[in-house]
Amino acid sequence: MDICYEKQVGENIRLLRKRNKLTQDQLAAKLQVLGCDITRSALAKIEVGQRHLYPDEIKALKQILNVPYESILS
C-alpha cells in the first residue's frame, strides 16, 4: 500500500473515532469484542499510517463507527 494512502486512512479512522467520542482504548476494546486482536498501541500506529489494516479490522471498524467503507478508505 502507498504510505500516503495509509496515512490518510489512519487520519480518517482517527477523525471518525473522535466524532464517536471514543478513546483509542475504547475503540481497541470494541474491536477486541468483535474478534480483532488489536491493542491501543496498534490502533495508534494505524492512525499514523505505521501499521497495515486487515480486512476483518476494516469490517469491524465500519460496524463500530457506523459508517460506509468509503468513509474509512477514501
pLDDT tens readout for residues 11-55? 999 999 999 999 999 999 999 999 999 999 999 999 999 999 999
Residues 47-69: what's their mean pLDDT? 96
The pLDDT of residue 1 is above 80? no
* Cβ atoms within 10 Å of 46's Cβ, excluding its own: 21
The pLDDT of residue 56 is above 70? yes
pLDDT for 3 equals: 86
Cell of 54: 486487515
How many separate domains does the chain show?
A: 1
Amino acid at 70: E
pLDDT band (50, 70, 90) for residue 4: very high
Domain coverage including residue 29: 3-73
